[in-house]
Structure 1
Amino acid sequence: MDFEIRDRSVIQGRRRLTREREAYLALVGQGVGTAEACKIVGINIRTGRRWRNGRNPTGRERAAAPITATASPSVRGRFLNEDERLHIADRHRERATVRQIAAELGRDPSTISRELRRNAHPVSGDYRPHAAQARAQARRPHPKISKIAASPELRQAVQDGLNLKWSPEQIVRRLRRDFPDRPELHVTHETIYQTLYVQGRGELRRELTKALRTGRAMRRPRRQAQQRTPRMATEMVMISERPAEADDRAVPGHWEGDLIIGKDGRSAIGTLVERHTRYVMLVHLPLGRTADLVRDALIATVAHLPTHLRRSLTWDQGIEMSLHQQFSIATDTPVFFCDPHSPWQRGSNENTNGLLRQYFPKSTDLSAHDSERLDAVAVELNGRPRKTLGWDTPAERFAKLLAETS
């Protein structure tokens, strides 16, 4: 600071007073007491109180230059806070215009005008910042009583439904159907969740949360995408970075992969489809679908392919591919991952998985099929003439690629 600390106050003129005033308000804003701040800056304690409480300035203080925006509160919300009201009181008594005060606080002029009109003393018309703050807080709307708390009949109907283990949505839909002409019994399912989970509401018994299908006594919010725990141990390379040659299917060697899941998620079969020829290879997973088992099975399946037919593998973001980097190192095949909820980015693989359900129906134990059975199914699929291949079979197209290699 450029001011000097003095033992006693001496009038220094307009510019000096303004700088001391700014320094005093800054110290008060940092939590320094009024007496201590006045002593540090070198002003009389009555002057400091007058600046802080918004009392009428006298003498040269009335002609002091306006406080700059840097002295205004640095943190503000939707409503005026107490510091801003102190600033308004000071500047208003210095005969500053509404637009000047608004510019200094970064507020709309109508906000300042409305504040001076609504929160001044109702009799004298004087604007006192602390009284204005109290009036504004008292005028704020308070939370209203919820609909369930206000209606014993509605509360009982909701509790009866929960006791029958109905979901909140089932309860509200049934109430609307059974009582279409009684809007006082119509609520949303979110209202029921709020009364169950929000502490201090008390409209419904907390033990009723056990009747919900989740059984949770506390509501668990959904995490944002940036807060979710990464599913992969190493960073994924997304499909947007896949070579452009894979998109038009003109270059062979780009594969799509996925798992088809058996009963209760306890068994699985891996599927690989070559984008250029639609050639299918099935991956045997007799012991499960953990990341290490999937990694080893994929390595064994693609190891016999020529190098130029192992250009890339595109997979969804299933956790079974969390060891994708190890697979890439072992096979020299980069792995690219689809965007979430975008199955069309692996169109050939999705189509093939649908065809495979003819052989491996849903809700069946896929571990019952041995590798010979998987090979036989793959032979049948690769022997089907395909319209997209000019009625050639995937096996014929793939055989030509192998012949060219040899």
Structure 2
Amino acid sequence: MKSYTHFTLSERNCLQQFLSEGKGVREIGRLMGRSASSISREIKRNCKDKKRYNAWWATSLYIYRRKKCVRKHVIRPDTKLYIYILECFKRFWSPEIIAHKCKQQGFIVCCASIYRALKENRLQGLSRKTALRRHGKKYIGNRKKCNTIHPVHTIYDRPEIVETKSRIGDFEGDTVYGGIGKGCAVTFVDRKSKLLVGSIAISRERNTIRKAISRAFELMEVPMPIETITLDNGSEFADFLNIEKDLGTTIYFADLHSPWQRGLNENTNDLLRFFYPKGTDFLSVSEKEFQKVIHLINSRPRKCLGYLSPLEFLSKKCCT
């Protein structure tokens, strides 16, 4: 069966011509390949007056009705859904997370509707640039050909249990740089629970990084054993043997220029970059303020955890 299509201007011109020649509705339908009911409905809806049919007038009426025939926005101001979405964005959640949480609250909305509302500036005080952490970001590679780290253990030496993510305590780590000479942050993420651990470092000097790593794990929100740590090959981790002794763990190094081998840590650092974009002066960021941001990220629901936050996931695991 042929699918239904709207009348075009050329079809309306033909219809006007046939009507002026005195042809009947059924005959016009056969000539135009349309059903008689479609011809009759077109004439009744779009006559300039009850007697005359004009193709241009009919097309104008059609366009006018089409513009009025628009679905009402699901996300409208002064509704409970609108207020709830704004509250979720204040927690820096993504549209996908917000859409899932809305369903749990009894609201019917998809993440595409939330993205559309942002694009059309229908959420007060929010835009794609301010609410979406990846909007407009460009990646500029900086590939060094030398490796300043001479690891004892590589990623290929890790126990199989690390790959399966079946236990807590296996961390991926890296540094988040600020501006030149403006300090950095060290971050570690548990592969199973996605719990973020971190601290501020005033420089990338090896001893400073070592102290910052020890402080980061001392400030960990949920105490857990440190089974393994997987790092990249940055020169700031050159004192890894002493770091192993400090934490009582084993450090493994990923391949050179292979961030996907620590994908969880890279993704979590991207979350952190929402609060501390490139060029941030970490020297002016207090440890207390930094830990508040870490708590905010650890309270963020994750799709891979069934939309539980890392803190909720660990609390449920401890209770079972």
Partner residue in 2 for 1:302: 217
- Taking every aligned residue pair, what percent have the same amino acid on both sides? 30
Specify which of 231, 251, 256 is matched with residue 148 of structure 2: 231
Alignment of 1:4-83 (within 5 A): none
* Residues 304, 288 of structure 1: alpha-carbon distance in 2 compared, 3 angstrom cutoff: closer
Shift in Å at residue 297 of structure 1?
Answer: 1.6
SS at the partner of 1:283? strand
* Residues 368, 251 of structure 1: alpha-carbon distance in 2 compared, 3 angstrom cutoff: same
CA–CA distance in structure 2, aligned partners of residues 402 and 310 of structure 1: 17
Shift in Å at residue 335 of structure 1?
Answer: 0.5
Alignment of 1:190-339 (within 5 A): 231-232=148-149, 235-264=151-180, 266-285=182-201, 287-303=202-218, 309-339=225-255
Alignment of 1:146-165 (within 5 A): none
- Between the two proteins, the alignment pairs up a number of residues equal to 176
Partner residue in 1 for 2:299: 383
CA–CA distance in structure 2, aligned partners of residues 249 and 261 of structure 1: 28
Q: CA RMSD in A?
A: 2.3
CA–CA distance in structure 1, aligned partners of residues 175 and 301 of structure 2: 24
Question: Mean Cα displacement is larger for which, 234-243 or 344-353?
Answer: 234-243
Partner residue in 1 for 2:275: 359
Shift in Å at residue 231 of structure 1?
Answer: 1.7
SS at the partner of 2:256? coil
CA deviation profile, 1:226-248 (whole Å, cap 9, x unmatched) = xx6x623x643110001111112
CA–CA distance in structure 2, aligned partners of residues 250 and 366 of structure 1: 35
CA–CA distance in structure 1, aligned partners of residues 238 and 319 of structure 2: 35
Q: Is the Cα contact below 8 Å between 1:303 and 1:331 reproduced in 2?
A: no
Query: What TM-score comes out, normalization by structure 1 length?
Result: 0.41
CA deviation profile, 1:80-115 (whole Å, cap 9, x unmatched) = xxxxxxxxxxxxxxxxxxxxxxxxxxxxxxxxxxxx
Query: What TM-score comes out, normalization by structure 2 length?
Result: 0.51
Q: Is the Cα contact below 8 Å between 2:197 and 2:217 reproduced in 1?
A: no
CA–CA distance in structure 2, aligned partners of residues 342 and 356 of structure 1: 20
CA–CA distance in structure 1, aligned partners of residues 148 and 278 of structure 2: 26
Partner residue in 2 for 1:165: none
CA deviation profile, 1:30-49 (whole Å, cap 9, x unmatched) = xxxxxxxxxxxxxxxxxxxx
SS at the partner of 2:313? helix
SS at the partner of 2:300? coil
SS at the partner of 2:167? coil
CA–CA distance in structure 1, aligned partners of residues 226 and 205 of structure 2: 23
Letter of the structure 2 residue corresponding to residue 335 of structure 1 = I
Q: Is the Cα contact below 8 Å between 1:252 and 1:309 reproduced in 2?
A: yes
Unaligned runs of 5+ in 1: 1-222
Partner residue in 2 for 1:371: 287
Letter of the structure 1 residue corresponding to residue 292 of structure 2 = A
Partner residue in 2 for 1:345: 261
CA–CA distance in structure 1, aligned partners of residues 315 and 148 of structure 2: 38
Q: Is the Cα contact below 8 Å between 2:200 and 2:282 reproduced in 1?
A: no
Q: Is the Cα contact below 8 Å between 2:181 and 2:203 reproduced in 1?
A: no
Letter of the structure 2 residue corresponding to residue 271 of structure 1 = T
Q: Is the Cα contact below 8 Å between 1:295 and 1:323 reproduced in 2?
A: yes
Letter of the structure 2 residue corresponding to residue 282 of structure 1 = G
* Residues 390, 329 of structure 1: alpha-carbon distance in 2 compared, 3 angstrom cutoff: same
SS at the partner of 1:309? coil
Letter of the structure 1 residue corresponding to residue 251 of structure 2 = V
SS at the partner of 2:174? strand
